[in-house]
Amino acid sequence: MPCSCFIIPNDVLTRLSQDKKLSAPQRKRMVDTVEISHELRELRTQATRLTRVAATRAGGLVTLAAAPAITVYDCRHTQTLPGTPVPRPKTSSDGSVKRAFNETARVAKFYQQIFNRNSIDDHGMTMMSSAHFGEKYNNAMWNGSQMVYGDGDGSIFVDFTRGSDVIGHELTHGVTQHSLQLAYSGDAGGLNESMSDCFGSMFRQWEKKQTVNKADWLIGRDIMGPAARKRGLTCLRDMANPAAKHCLAPQPTKYSQVTPGMDPHYSSGPPNLAFCTACVTLGGYSWAKIGQVWYHSLTGFGASPNMTMPAFAARTRQGARTLYPGDAAVFSAVDAGWKKVGL
Ligand SMILES: [Zn+2]
């Protein structure tokens, strides 16, 4: 299966493109998004391969900057990447451009302050975003070297820069590409998607200063449009209740329900639930301890493209013991998380 790193899974767009309750132009937007997404996915696959080969050939990565530069481009509704540079995105009158800049800067700060990570590659890589990609394009993505945001059709989805968890999710695909280098199929694919949901959700909670009990654990809540809400769909995924009916793409909750060819947007359900359960069991802030265990497991051991979920679960159990030897509650919480999903 080729890599894909879009926030909206392909089958959801395909399903919506056949939905007779939507207007013909709305359905066409879904078809367009699927077709363009296919080509963008090829690009990402190649970029991931390049990262892998470059990492093995380089004598050691050179740090580019002490903190990453943040740049924003405007595609002006074309599909030409990166588009035209925006000179002062921080103060732009264009809401999408301004949000892309500010949220990316905050993701950089989140990774720096909470995990001591210098940008996506931990070597100060420039964090580049393109806004207004395509015409009412219904997706957002990490293409292997930059972020791309569509405006959404305004009906099912609104502007994708509105979701801080979406931004955190996609940028985390970059972090995974430069650390564990997980593949995008099988168990590794589900873990790859789950890492992005875990860190995307943690980022949103950190921005809002929410404890695990205050957090809603929803992914994509802020990008759901009026037509989706009218149908009772309040999010893409729910980490606390992956199979819930209010999700646009409900997921399995047990590891035993994960099948080999499953789209990673679905097989991420069990590891998402394990992470959420561990956080809620321990209490406090998600990023304080459980987030540290997950980050250590993601970035502390080099590349492992075909990692299985049981192997990742074992690594986090060990990580809880290594990082918090005097705090048995952390191990118990991590253990409870994985047991909940049958691991
Ligand atoms: Zn993703």
Q: For the whole model, what pTM was predicted? A: 0.93
Q: What is the pLDDT of residues 214-264, one digit of tens each?
A: 999 999 999 999 999 999 999 999 999 999 999 999 999 999 999 989 999
How many whole angstroms from 39 Cα to the centroid of ligand 1?
16
How many whole angstroms from 170 Cα to the centroid of ligand 1?
6
How many whole angstroms from 187 Cα to the centroid of ligand 1?
14
Q: What is the pLDDT of residues 294-306, one digit of tens each?
A: 999 999 999 999 9
Decide which of 30 and 128 is more confident.
128
- Calculate mean pLDDT across residues 316-332: 98
Decide which of 64 and 289 is more confident.
289
Catalytic residue IDs: 170, 265
Q: Which of 171, 162, 47 is nearest to 107 (CA)?
A: 171
Phi then psi dihedrals of residue 161, to 5 deg: -75, -10
> Helices 164-177 and 95-115: crossing angle, nearest 10°?
50
Q: Which helix (DSSP H) or strand (DSSP E) does residue 129 occupy?
A: strand 127-131
Going by pLDDT thresholds of 50, 70 and 90, the confidence category of residue 117 is very high
What pLDDT is recorded for position 59? 60
- Protein residues with C-beta less than 5 angstroms from the ion ligand 1: 5, 196
How many whole angstroms from 329 Cα to the centroid of ligand 1?
30
Q: Which of 298, 5, 281 is nearest to 143 (CA)?
A: 5
Coil, helix or strand for 70? strand
Q: How far apart are CA 281 and CA 300, in angstroms?
A: 24
Going by pLDDT thresholds of 50, 70 and 90, the confidence category of residue 44 is confident
Is the CB of residue 259 less than 8 Å from the CB of residue 187?
A: no
- For residue 3, is pLDDT > 60? no
Q: What is the pLDDT of residues 252-279, one digit of tens each?
A: 999 999 998 999 999 999 999 999 999 9
How many whole angstroms from 328 Cα to the centroid of ligand 1?
32
What pLDDT is recorded for position 143? 87
Q: How far apart are CA 52 and CA 22, in angstroms?
A: 42
Is the CB of residue 41 less than 8 Å from the CB of residue 52?
A: no
Going by pLDDT thresholds of 50, 70 and 90, the confidence category of residue 60 is low
Q: How far apart are CA 128 and CA 113, in angstroms?
A: 20
Range in 43-47, 126-130, 267-271, 296-300 with the lowest mean pLDDT: 43-47
Q: How far apart are CA 312 and CA 271, in angstroms?
A: 9
Instruction: Classify residue 78 by its DSSP letter.
Output: S
- AA letter at 153: D
How many whole angstroms from 327 Cα to the centroid of ligand 1?
32
Is the CB of residue 193 less than 8 Å from the CB of residue 265?
A: yes
